[in-house]
Amino acid sequence: MNKAPLSLLVVLVTAMTAGPLLGYGVAAAGPAVIEQIGITPGQLGSLASVAFVTAALTSSWLGRLADRISVRAQLVVVHLSSLAALVLAAAAQNYWMLLVASVLAGPPLAICNPTTNGILIRDVPPAQRSGWLGIKQSGVQVAQLFSGLFFPAMTLWLGWRGAALGAAGVVVLFWIQSLVTVRAVGATEPVGRGRRGSGASEPLPGTVWFLAGFALLTGFGMQATNVYLPTFAVQSLGYPLMVGGLAAAVTGTVGVVFRVFWGRQMRAGRRATTVFLIISAGAVGSGLVLLAADLWAVHVLLWFGAVLLGACTLGANVVVNATIMQVVAKGSVGTATGITSMGMYIGFASGPMAMGVLRDATGDFRAGWIMVAAVYAIGGLLALALRRREPGEL
């Protein structure tokens, strides 16, 4: 097989970027959204939770669908749903309209991993695949980096509505480029069709459920932190809005680099459970560092915690997806990815909701940071259990 063109890699990255834009945008401009729309910090967290609940409820179905429908149709789901969510959020006059926009943001989150994993397994040669996996997963952090810089600046200039409409325009550009590219390279058929011996009917290995559990736990802590990091920086440490958004951008920037790094570690043959344990240890550290920043108002610890979050937690999904490609038949990659994505999005949904409830109940983020560190520690224990179940393999 010839090398896949770089334009296809751009499609993979932008498909991963489009889905999370609303969630990251609401988080990055959180204090302004609270003020301009008239919602509470707890309601801010519930917006992310609703998007992730929708993603969790649709992940398994959309994962199976991704094994059967064309790539073009999948890209319509990704970009049209994201576009609709951003436009409705721009028009929102109250919390309930933002809530509906968050529901619309769920399907692109649910299908982006099955879609991009399917393209990887079908249209990208094995020699390129591992490296591209880390890069395409970094599309989520591209969204975080972009949102951390774009939304606060645009909100200060044009208000929340102008920022959301500007992001919608970016999604339109992503969509056009993706359709042109898949037509040019012929990446149109689903991976489960037209492939002899694809293994579409083979049962999924039990390892998939361990991976879903790890994705749930790391997803819980990741989004509890991502959603509230800018608001924590503003409300607890006294930073202005632009600096709060910059903290999210730092996490996203570090996450881009380390998602590629962890992808290369998997390509080099590092055991998945070893990487999971390293990620869990660093993630526990990020929660404890942010707790220390809150307790003693040491501002530099905010940045240390943001870097640790980006370097460790944001790499978990790269390792999960790389492991899926090792243990699952090609024709079932979308189905397996849908299951692990369901676990991840259950975590994504419950993390911000729990953090928001604790923040509203206690008046600060300290109990939330303790909760985040504890959940990451449980993820490390699950990685140990998987290592024991698959000795010498994972």
Q: Please check whether residue 214 is in contact with residue 277, taking contact to mean a CB–CB distance below 8 angstroms.
A: no
Spatial contact of 121 and 333, defined as CB atoms under 8 Å apart? yes
Total domains, the chain: 1
For residue range 267-300, list pLDDT tens digits in order. 888 899 999 999 999 999 999 999 999 999 889 9
**Is pLDDT of 62 > 90?**
no
Q: Is the pLDDT confidence value at 333 over 70?
A: yes
Burial of 78 (0-12, 13-18, 19+ CB in 10 A): buried
Of 33-37, 82-86, 335-339, give the range with the top mean pLDDT: 82-86
Q: Which residue has the higher pLDDT, 340 or 43?
A: 340
Residue 194 belongs to a domain? yes
Domain assignment present for 91? yes
Backbone CA torsion sign across 50, 56, 59, 60:
negative
Q: At what angle do helices 21-28 and 207-235 cross, to 10 degrees?
A: 30
pLDDT at 1: 53
Q: Give the pLDDT score at 309.
A: 92
Please provide the average confidence, as pLDDT, over all residues in the chain: 86
Q: Is the pLDDT of residue 87 over 90?
A: yes
Cα 132 to Cα 151: distance, rounded to the nearest angstrom = 28
What's CA 368's distance to the chain center, in Å?
Answer: 20
What is the rounded distance in angstroms from the CA atom of residue 243 to the CA atom of residue 333? 40
Share of the chain above pLDDT 70, in %: 95
Predicted pLDDT at 301: 95
Establish if 324 belongs to a structural domain. Answer: yes
Check the CA dihedral 320-137-116-128 and report its sign: negative
Mean pLDDT lowest for which of 256-260, 286-290, 362-366?
A: 256-260
| CATH number of the domain within which 127 lies | 1.20.1250.20
The residue to which tokens 């919602």 are assigned: 39
Instruction: With beta carbons less than 8 A apart as the criterion, state whether 49 and 350 touch.
Output: yes
Compute how many other C-beta atoms are within 10 angstroms of the C-beta atom of residue 157.
Answer: 10
Q: Where are the alpha helices (DSSP H) in 124-186?
A: 126-137, 139-185
Of the pLDDT bands very low, low, confident and very high (cuts 50, 70, 90), residue 135 is confident
Q: Is residue 205 part of a domain?
A: yes
- CA angle 231/237/243 to nearest 5° reads 60
CA nearest neighbour of 18 among 65, 70, 85, 68: 85
pLDDT band with cut points at 50, 70 and 90 for residue 31: confident
Confidence at residue 219, expressed as pLDDT on a 0 to 100 scale: 92
What confidence score (pLDDT) does residue 190 get? Answer: 59
In a domain, 394, yes or no: no
Domain of 188, in residue numbers:
6-389
Q: Is the pLDDT of residue 171 over 90?
A: yes
Q: Distance between CA atoms of 217 and 350, rounded to whole angstroms?
A: 10
Q: Do the domain assignments include residue 1? A: no
| pLDDT one-digit tens code per residue, 208-248 | 999 999 999 999 999 899 888 988 999 899 888 888 888 88
**Is the distance from CB of 255 to CB of 138 less than 8 angstroms?**
yes
Model confidence band, residue 192 (pLDDT cutoffs 50, 70, 90):
low
Q: Render pLDDT for 32-49 as a digit per residue (tens, 0 to 9).
A: 888 888 888 778 878 877
The pLDDT of residue 328 is above 70: yes
